[in-house]
Amino acid sequence: MSVHLWLRAETKPMEERTALPPQHAQKLLKAGFKITVEHCSQRIFDIESYRSVGCEIAQAHSWKESAPSDAIILGLKEFAPEVTFPLTHKHIQFAHAYKEQQGWQDVLSRFTRGDGTLYDIEFLVNDKGQRVAAFGYWAGYSGCAVSIMTWIAKQKGETLGPLSSYENRDLMVDDLKAQLSGLETKPRIIIIGAKGRCGSGALDLANALDIDVSPWDAEETAKGGPFEEILEHNIFVNCVFIQKMIPPFITKEMLAQKRGNLEVICDVSCDPFGAYNPLPIYTQCTHFDNPSIILENSAQVSLVAIDHLPSLLPKESSEDFCTQLMPTLLEITDIDAGVWGRAKQTFLNKSANI
């Protein structure tokens, strides 16, 4: 019996990425999968590119009424919180609910009430506990870019306006180089988590712009925070994925003292509602239409905390992500074993705590 994957339309504003680009869908079709793709006006790939490789096409959001019970619903971002009907299918997506984020019980209860199953992309791991696919590199790359854009705007006495995606990274780099060329100086950046996938993306972007960077990782943070060195830089980019309680990297008290050169903070990890957040200085995310906010009582330090940064480069990030995910997708024919079996058990363990 073939696996039926149903690629749903995304609902998050300005989310142009997809978990399954057309060329990857074609490989799955050749492997015997059945694939249905919903129309989605914001997806970076047009619907005809899916039709041309042999996918079946459906109307946006029609999975709720039309997807067979054995179809696996594939998406990226979480559902809108105001929609609460029970979920009866198997779903692959980011849910942002396993670290007891705000509203996590409501999210998981939708699956338990409908006897559905969540296979959270963030928790698809191999037998060593390592994630099999992630957008980390492009999150770091884009996050560093937005933090520099924010800094440039501040030098001009302006606020960074709404963002739109770039066709590719070369256009992004060229744009930033042009903006920086009109300034007398460049910012100094500190990246914490510089050796990880996310941090390496941020570091690559900074290096492409010939910007002075302090690349911090485990050795530099071993003493435990908070870290006064952050204040010596113009931009602080946090790229650390935290799964346990640690001392904060920076605090409200440090910002209130108004010392140093810090002007922009970018929290690429973006988890203001989680108990493990190492940047307990904010309680709301920012968005592409309003990329930065001024932190209260902070000498006008700007915060960037966008939870879908890779959508700034949707084509490259989608293709890279699905290339990583493909070996695991091909194993979904045995969904109770391996990576998928572990993901289901994680869902059962987490939902038991509702």
For the question of residue 77 being annotated catalytic, the response is: yes
**Are the C-beta atoms of 161 and 321 separated by less than 8 Å?**
no
3-state secondary structure at position 351: helix
How would you label 180-203 residue by residue, b for 16+ Cβ within 10 Å and e otherwise? beeeeebbebbbbbbebbbbbbbb
Q: What is the pLDDT of residues 67-76, one digit of tens each?
A: 999 999 999 9
Q: How far is CA 314 from CA 49, 62, 67, 95, 161, in A?
A: 16, 24, 26, 19, 19
What are the structural domains of the chain? 4-123+314-351 (3.40.50.720), 136-312 (3.40.50.720)
Catalytic-labelled residue, pool 77, 233, 308, 315: 77
Q: What is the pLDDT of residues 225-260, one digit of tens each?
A: 999 999 999 999 999 977 788 899 999 999 999 899
Residue 134, CB-side half-sphere exposure with 13 Å CA sphere: 19
Q: State the pTM of this model.
A: 0.91
- As a whole number of angstroms, the distance between CA 187 and CA 164 comes to 23
- As a whole number of angstroms, the distance between CA 195 and CA 216 comes to 8
Task: Round the average pLDDT of the chain to a whole number and report it.
Answer: 95
3-state secondary structure at position 336: coil
Task: Please spell the DSSP secondary structure of 183-234, one letter per residue.
Answer: SS----EEEETTTSHHHHHHHHHHHHTT--EEEE-HHHHTT-S--GGGGGSS
Q: What is the pLDDT of residues 118-163, one digit of tens each?
A: 999 999 999 999 999 999 999 999 999 999 999 999 999 999 999 9
Q: What is the pLDDT of residues 259-287, one digit of tens each?
A: 999 999 999 988 887 777 899 999 999 99
1 has pLDDT over 70: no
Catalytic-labelled residue, pool 89, 90, 91, 96: 96
As a whole number of Å, the end-to-end CA separation of the chain is: 34
For the question of residue 308 being annotated catalytic, the response is: no
Query: In sequence order, what are the beta bridge partners of 125?
Result: 131
